[in-house]
Amino acid sequence: MSDATAISGRLPELPPLLPGRRIAVLDLGSNSFHLQIVVASTGGELLAVERIKDKVQLLAGFADGALAGDSIARAHHSLARLGQRLGSIEAPWIFAIGTSALRQSNNVELVLDRARNLLGVEVEVISGKEEARLIYAGVAHHLPASQERRGVIDIGGGSTEFALGRGYELIESDSIEVGCVGLTDAYFRQPDLIAARFAEAREAAASRFRHIGLSIEPGLAVYGTSGTVESIQSVLLANGFSRTCITRDALELLIAAICEGRTLVDMGMPGLQPERVDIFPAGVAIVGALFDVFEFDELAYLPVSLQDGVLVDALKIPHEADVQESAVRSLMKRFRVETGHAERVQATALRLHDGLAAGWQIDTDELRRLLGWAALLCEIGLSIGVRGYHRHGGYIIGNTELRGFSRDQKRALALLVRSHRRRLPSLAFVDLPVAEAQHLRYLSVVLRLAVILNRSHADESVPVSVDTSAQVPRLVLPGGWLSEHALSASELQIEQSVLNDVGVEVELPRLQPS
């Protein structure tokens, strides 16, 4: 177990966390300084209201245990900028953390003294193990509740942190002083030598990782949380090397493209942010070394940071039994979704799903839960406007932060909400893998039918069932129900044509002429 002490255990008693309270976390990292500001909502949720990142490269030029003068000057300039933004936040609610560059340096006070004067708070320089523990806490708070064994890797500018755990429990952690800025200084400061030095840099990182004291087993679920992992995954997706996350094969395709000169990193690459161009080769070399040493199958990026872990730890945020359900419910509250109606649509959708799922081969718990969340959120766009609210809803979900949801899950959820009324957006399904597109198309149909059947917005359950005795499944409603629900009846008639056009076989009930 980690021997680190919780940040909350080293703080004075904090005032009550009331709605509207702003809280800031400042991470003085070896590559960038990160400021995150959150506000406490009336529902107790912390909503991010600002993120500022300054590329300082504090570790650049590091020699003989000392930070370089240019690096210190960049740090002072950044602290002055960030200090202005922190001026309106009370000191007890500002948490300032220093990491690898500051813990390695013998002239660290040149930065800490300036930070104290400009920010009005002390910067706590934490150990590598403490950094790994906090990052794991942020990941555990972000992921759905699970007892899976998971590994978390964070590649910074000056060090790489490792954490192993099960669910919310941290089991082991370690930190190795290998990072993007240090490796760039050592091997990649001359862009024309990237290919020649790449293998050497990769092996140098691997030689350090081989001494790590953690028991990383085959089959472990491995997550990455840093800008390095994010940028590599983004480049792999943008260039068609991968459709999901970082795999060994996809990474080797990228490495070959770099080393063979088929892509020039210093000129920019699809999916690569300009501010990461100079340290990108070092990051790729480090990730290649991780695959070499630990032999895991894939590395998936999570949008979690050290700042998130600090908030979880300092504010003693409780664990939740179902992170995804909580995130959806918080979003409903935030955008004033009519809960009663949303839950009736959900109940109808799940009833239809249970009748149709086996025949349509969508009978998995994951798809059923996805449908249920989409039903709860299908009217979220009304907070923007009634015209085209399904498109507004898809945009909100696609661009909001949903704890516990992966990138692919958010994309699928946004597409379902976007598709729940009017025309099915056929082009939106084209870019998806064939099997996923078919599954989401079927889920869209189920959601559309549930919405149509609940057009009364009345506090009543819809007595619909599914008859699968014939070759084509058939929706069944009690006699007289359609005549009493004329709007649903007319929309079901239109929907039958829509389903025929997209090749979904289901027979919808029709209002018989009197």
pLDDT reported for residue 11: 62
Q: Do domains 7-126 and 144-301 have the same CATH topology?
A: yes
pLDDT reported for residue 6: 66
* CA 35 vs CA 30, 83, 113, 221: distances in Å: 14, 10, 18, 29
| The model scores a pTM over 0.85 | yes
Q: What is the 3-state secondary structure (H, E, C) of 486-507?
A: HHHHHHHHHHHHHHHHHCCCCE
Q: At what angle do helices 248-259 and 280-294 cross, to 10 degrees?
A: 140
Q: If we measure between CA atoms, which residue out of 176, 303, 178 comes closest to residue 229?
A: 303
> The tokens of 440 are what?
């989401």
Q: Which CATH class is domain 323-502?
A: mainly alpha
pLDDT reported for residue 2: 39
CB neighbours of residue 106 within 10 Å? 9
pLDDT reported for residue 265: 73
Ordered by start, the domain boundaries in the chain are 7-126, 144-301, 323-502
As beta bridge partners, residue 417 has none
> The tokens of 319 are what?
């664990």
pLDDT in tens, 6-16: 676 666 677 77
One digit per residue, pLDDT tens: the chain, 514 residues?
Answer: 334 456 766 666 777 788 899 999 999 999 999 999 999 987 778 999 999 999 999 999 999 999 999 999 999 999 999 999 999 999 899 999 999 999 999 999 999 999 999 999 999 999 999 999 999 999 999 998 888 899 999 999 999 999 999 989 999 999 999 999 999 999 998 878 888 899 999 999 999 999 887 777 777 899 999 999 999 999 999 999 998 899 999 999 999 998 987 777 767 788 999 899 899 999 999 999 999 999 888 999 999 999 999 999 999 888 888 889 999 999 999 999 999 999 999 999 999 999 999 999 999 999 999 999 999 999 999 999 999 999 999 999 999 989 889 888 999 999 999 999 998 888 888 878 888 999 999 999 999 999 999 999 999 999 999 999 999 999 999 999 999 999 999 999 999 999 998 889 999 999 876 5
Length of the chain: 514
Report yes or no: 197 and 258 within 8 Å, Cβ to Cβ.
no
Dihedrals phi, psi of 164, to nearest 5 degrees: -120, 140
Angle at the Cα of 485 from the Cα atoms of 483 and 489, rounded to 5 degrees: 80
Q: At what angle do helices 306-314 and 128-142 cross, to 10 degrees?
A: 80
What CA–CA distance (Å, rounded) separates 54 from 36?
12
SS3 state of residue 34: strand
pLDDT reported for residue 99: 97
Looking at the domain that runs over 144-301, which CATH code has it been given?
Answer: 3.30.420.150
Angle at the Cα of 507 from the Cα atoms of 422 and 426, rounded to 5 degrees: 35
Instruction: Tell the CATH topology of 7-126.
Output: Nucleotidyltransferase; domain 5 (3.30.420)
Residues 192, 198, 204, 206, Cα dihedral to 10°:
160
Q: If we measure between CA atoms, which residue out of 431, 406, 401, 136 comes closest to residue 245?
A: 406
What CA–CA distance (Å, rounded) separates 19 from 454?
35
